[in-house]
């Protein structure tokens, strides 16, 4: 009695486990779940497109302000494709694809392997395409003719004899049935490569000025920009931009290369791509300044001032020093701070320290586009920014992705699967030849898994050729 109870508990446990397993398969093989996940990926990709990824903090602060930068960084939107929620979404989609694959492949595989040669006459006539013919010829002659005709059309042909009857089964393009499954495997491998790259790789972006050296912490070496330049067409449109880079490892120059778009530098598995360029939004090399007497408006002098260096103004006891620059001036009344609200040079301004007789009198902001905005009356002079030269930076995308080769394998399988799905049709034909006293009846039936119109035409041609069999 105790053994029966124990067996009953085991059976109940198995039943409960099977119920959970069936529920899991039902949920994770659902097309609705796949669509929902794809929508999430699409939304995340929109954010990844709208917000430039892996840029330096100063760029985000310049574009969005310090407050919004904190929000964007906190949500992981500056590196969304390596965020935990993006990786989790890919994992869920991978599970969905894997469950769909293992659920749908077995019945397809059984159908591919099913080569039932013998089929009853009425079953043949119930096929999507069917016909009944008769000839006053020998059964052997009909058999050889049908066999040769199907082989000529590229079918794999199998025959079987049952008594005085002959059964023939022909098929071609069976692998086309699993084209969608190969596509699923390709997608799954792509996602696995993306997940591997998300956890073990990295993507970054660096703006580096000519002559500067940046430490690449992921590789343990330095990268120096020796030169950056732009080539132009005759109408002054940019034709291309280039950076000469030097890799410094253990204090020694080990690799030097000039890169351009689609021609990167690679070292220790890290790729450096020429991505962009632009003018600095937080510094300048030098500026041209005009100095006037405030009361009379008399022009006093013109000076070319280097950033961060004092310069004397001729014929005066005045010294000027540029200590700050923003490309798009904005003053935050809450924090009492000045910053560039974008990286574009929409409202350039420079902060200048003004010394008279060696004493710092004032440090006003001077606007390149609005010289009349200089209202500081701490000095008897009026200073106008007549122009400036900002250094250009090269924008480098820096990436290491150990999953890239896996993604290539998945992409190849994806392409193969799509080709099989759209262009390879599984066609099956059954023929039964019945000898009836010097008169042979031929039953022909067949079907295809897709492109039925094309198969209808092929089947009709086959029947016409069978009708024209000669002795």
Q: Reply yes or no on whether the pLDDT at 13 is more than 60.
A: no
Q: For 374-421, write each residue's pLDDT tens digit.
A: 878 888 889 999 999 998 899 999 998 888 889 999 999 999 999 999
Look up the CATH number of the domain holding residue 163. Answer: 3.30.310.80
Global confidence as pTM: 0.61
Residue with tokens 């060696």: 358
Rounded CA-CA distance 153/462 in Å is 9
Q: How many domains is the chain partitioned into structurally? A: 4
Tell me: do 255 and 226 sit in the same domain.
Answer: yes
List of E strands, 113-172: 129-135, 156-162, 165-172
Q: Reply yes or no on whether the pLDDT at 2 is more than 70.
A: no
Mean pLDDT for the stretch of residues 58-72: 80
Tell me: do 402 and 256 sit in the same domain.
Answer: yes
Q: For 284-321, write each residue's pLDDT tens digit.
A: 999 999 999 988 889 999 999 999 999 999 989 999 99
Rounded CA-CA distance 253/243 in Å is 16
Q: For 128-167, write each residue's pLDDT tens digit.
A: 999 999 888 888 899 999 999 999 999 999 999 887 899 9
Rounded CA-CA distance 46/33 in Å is 20
Mean pLDDT for the stretch of residues 6-21: 56
Which pLDDT band holds residue 16 (cuts at 50, 70, 90)? Answer: low
Tell me: do 258 and 207 sit in the same domain.
Answer: yes
Give Cβ neighbours of residue 405 (< 8 Å, ≥ 6 apart): 193
H or E segment to which residue 322 belongs = strand 318-326
Which pLDDT band holds residue 96 (cuts at 50, 70, 90)? Answer: confident
Closest to 463 in 3D by CA, of 448, 446, 449, 451? 446
Residue with tokens 């209202």: 375
Q: For 258-270, write each residue's pLDDT tens digit.
A: 999 889 999 998 9
Give Cβ neighbours of residue 464 (< 8 Å, ≥ 6 apart): none
Cβ atoms of 349 and 383 within 8 Å: the answer is: no
**Is beta strand 165-172 parallel, antiparallel or unpaired with respect to 427-435?**
antiparallel
In degrees and rounded to multiples of 5, residue 171 shows phi and psi of: -150, 160
Tell me: do 16 and 56 sit in the same domain.
Answer: yes
Tell me: do 293 and 366 sit in the same domain.
Answer: yes
Tell me: do 254 and 216 sit in the same domain.
Answer: yes
Cβ atoms of 276 and 53 within 8 Å: the answer is: no
Residue with tokens 């992705």: 401
In degrees and rounded to multiples of 5, residue 123 shows phi and psi of: -70, -35
β-bridge partners, 250:
none
Which pLDDT band holds residue 471 (cuts at 50, 70, 90)? Answer: low
Q: For 221-256, write each residue's pLDDT tens digit.
A: 999 999 999 898 888 888 889 999 999 999 999 999
What residues make up the domain containing 349? 286-388
Q: Is the dihedral of CA 452, 454, 460, 465 positive or negative?
A: negative
Mean pLDDT for the stretch of residues 109-120: 84
Q: Please check whether residue 6 lies inside any domain of the structure.
A: no
Tell me: do 94 and 138 sit in the same domain.
Answer: no
Tell me: do 296 and 383 sit in the same domain.
Answer: yes
β-bridge partners, 286:
306, 389
């Amino acid at each position: 009695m105790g053994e029966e109870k124990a067996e009953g508990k085991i059976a109940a446990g198995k039943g409960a486990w099977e119920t959970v397993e069936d529920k899991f398969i039902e949920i994770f093989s659902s097309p609705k779940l796949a669509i929902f996940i794809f929508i999430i990926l699409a939304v995340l990709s929109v954010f990844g497109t709208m917000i430039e990824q892996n840029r330096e903090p100063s760029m985000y602060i310049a574009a969005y302000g310090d407050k919004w930068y904190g929000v964007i960084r906190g949500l992981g939107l500056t590196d969304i494709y390596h965020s935990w929620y993006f990786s989790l979404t890919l994992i869920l989609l991978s599970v969905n694809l894997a469950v769909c694959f293992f659920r749908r492949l077995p019945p397809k595989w059984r159908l591919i392997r099913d080569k039932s040669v013998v089929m009853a006459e009425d079953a043949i006539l119930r096929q999507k395409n069917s016909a009944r013919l008769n000839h006053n010829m020998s059964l052997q002659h009909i058999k050889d003719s049908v066999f040769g005709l199907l082989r000529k059309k590229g079918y794999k042909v199998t025959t079987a004899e049952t008594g005085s009857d002959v059964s023939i089964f022909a098929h071609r393009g069976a692998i086309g049935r699993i084209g969608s499954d190969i596509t699923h495997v390709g997608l799954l491998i792509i996602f696995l490569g993306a997940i591997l790259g998300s956890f073990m790789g990295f993507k970054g972006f660096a703006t580096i000025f000519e002559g500067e050296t940046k430490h690449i912490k992921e590789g343990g070496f330095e990268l120096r920009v020796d030169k950056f330049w732009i080539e132009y067409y005759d109408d002054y449109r940019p034709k291309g931009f280039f950076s000469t880079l030097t890799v410094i490892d253990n204090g020694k120059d080990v690799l030097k290369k000039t890169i351009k778009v689609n021609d990167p530098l690679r070292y220790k598995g890290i790729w450096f791509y020429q991505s962009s360029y632009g003018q600095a939004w937080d510094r300048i090399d030098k500026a041209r300044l005009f100095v006037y007497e405030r009361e009379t408006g008399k022009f006093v002098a013109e000076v070319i001032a280097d950033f961060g260096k004092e310069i004397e103004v001729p014929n005066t006891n005045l010294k000027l020093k540029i200590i700050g620059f923003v490309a798009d001036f904005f003053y935050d009344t809450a924090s009492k701070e000045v910053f560039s609200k974008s990286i574009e040079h929409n409202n350039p301004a420079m902060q200048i320290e003004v010394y008279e007789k060696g004493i710092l009198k004032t440090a006003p902001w001077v606007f390149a586009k609005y010289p009349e905005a200089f209202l500081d009356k701490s000095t008897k002079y009026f200073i106008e920014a007549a122009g400036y030269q900002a250094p250009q930076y090269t924008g480098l995308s820096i990436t290491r992705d150990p999953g890239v080769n896996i993604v290539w394998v998945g992409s190849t399988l994806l392409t193969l699967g799509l080709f099989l799905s759209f262009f390879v049709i599984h066609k099956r034909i059954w023929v039964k030849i019945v000898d009836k006293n010097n008169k042979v009846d031929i039953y022909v039936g067949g079907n295809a898994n897709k492109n039925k119109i094309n198969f209808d035409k092929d089947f009709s041609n086959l029947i016409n050729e069978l009708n024209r069999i000669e002795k």
